[in-house]
Structure 1
């Protein structure tokens, strides 16, 4: 089994990585501000579902396919970019829906979870990152590599939930206040759309290395 000090170092590094600005935490921030704290938390769970897929891919060598195949990498990244552009279009066309309590139409939990999963799974850079990052903390002398990879992936997911959960709560609380105003809500929708479009552009122009 991996030594405790190595696990602690990995977990601390994972927290710092989750805190650093990136596509996933910006996506959570935009969704929480636009839809509320619960939405941010559900998207976070969806993203973590995607991380399970990436962890499994690294464990069984599937991530190497995207690192080696330009066609597979390109197809997946453009699928992800197209999905993000679709979300941007939805956000830009959304109007203000304030009532006496500043409520808005909420997406269903299933849709929010799917958004998180699709956002994460269709980003091949995550698989390649895991392929480069996780092996630095495994040791063949410490037991089966598959078990070590799964353990590290689980710790990374825990760190993601902690950081992204905090982002969801803070952004959701701010969004709740802003949604009291129709003008502020329209601004939130435009901001979310801009973030989604920017993430789509970043993903579409991403390179394997």
Structure 2
């Protein structure tokens, strides 16, 4: 495994996006456990895209405008839903003192859907992973699986770190309602901005 792959993956994973945003919100509003759950959910959410890239199904999204746009607008609608729920104090920044099994399940489902409903991820992995596999590689499928596993591990580790750092600031934020209100509005606006970016995305 090349250092170039590790460095590129680190930059990609650490770059702010919907997964990072949701994990930060989970850490701030629900604490350490929720941030780990959110990081896990976001990581699971990229599995279908990695599988699609490995199996070649992502080519369908690349070649079929109808499939791509249908998938894309589902993602846009879900991000707008997340923005609305966050604004109404029922979404990503809903404050909870304890994270029970039901709450953890909700955090996981939201995190998974945030990544699953982004068709750009499948196309990204289809273009990204083969660059780091040699043309004469005797077992390309095994190499793709190895690269995918490393990418997922980095995703979970980086997202969890983001979430734990946010959770460490939780008491400071919750004790200041005005800061929490400002953060809630900022996160809602960020979800809207990300939905607009996805809506404008092309194949």
Q: Where on the TM-score scale, by shorter chain, does this alignment land: which range?
A: 0.7 to 0.9
Aligned match of 1:182 = 177
Could you say what secondary structure the match of 1:108 adopts? helix
Deviations 1:43-76 (A, max 9, x none): 2111111221111111111111111111111111
Q: Aligned equivalents of 1:206 and 1:23: distance in 2?
A: 15
**For this pair of structures, how many residues does the alignment match?**
197
Aligned match of 1:99 = none
Out of 11, 21, 25, the residue aligned to residue 16 of structure 1 is 11
Structure 2: unaligned runs, 5 residues or longer = none
Aligned match of 2:137 = 142
Out of 42, 45, 48, the residue aligned to residue 40 of structure 2 is 45
Structure 1: unaligned runs, 5 residues or longer = 96-101
Aligned match of 1:84 = 79
Could you say what secondary structure the match of 2:46 adopts? helix
Q: Aligned equivalents of 2:18 and 2:79: distance in 1?
A: 11
For the aligned residue pairs, the C-alpha RMSD in angstroms reads 2.0
Could you say what secondary structure the match of 1:206 adopts? coil
Out of 163, 167, 184, the residue aligned to residue 162 of structure 2 is 167
Structure 1 residue ranges, 4+ long, deviating more than 6 angstroms after superposition: none
Q: Aligned equivalents of 1:58 and 1:148: distance in 2?
A: 13
Query: Given the two structures, how large is their TM-score scaled by the length of structure 1?
Result: 0.85
Query: Given the two structures, how large is their TM-score scaled by the length of structure 2?
Result: 0.88
Q: Do 1:92 and 1:189's aligned partners in 2 also have CA atoms closer than 8 Å?
A: yes
Deviations 1:159-201 (A, max 9, x none): 1122111111112222331012233222222222112222111
Aligned match of 1:131 = 126
Aligned match of 1:110 = 105
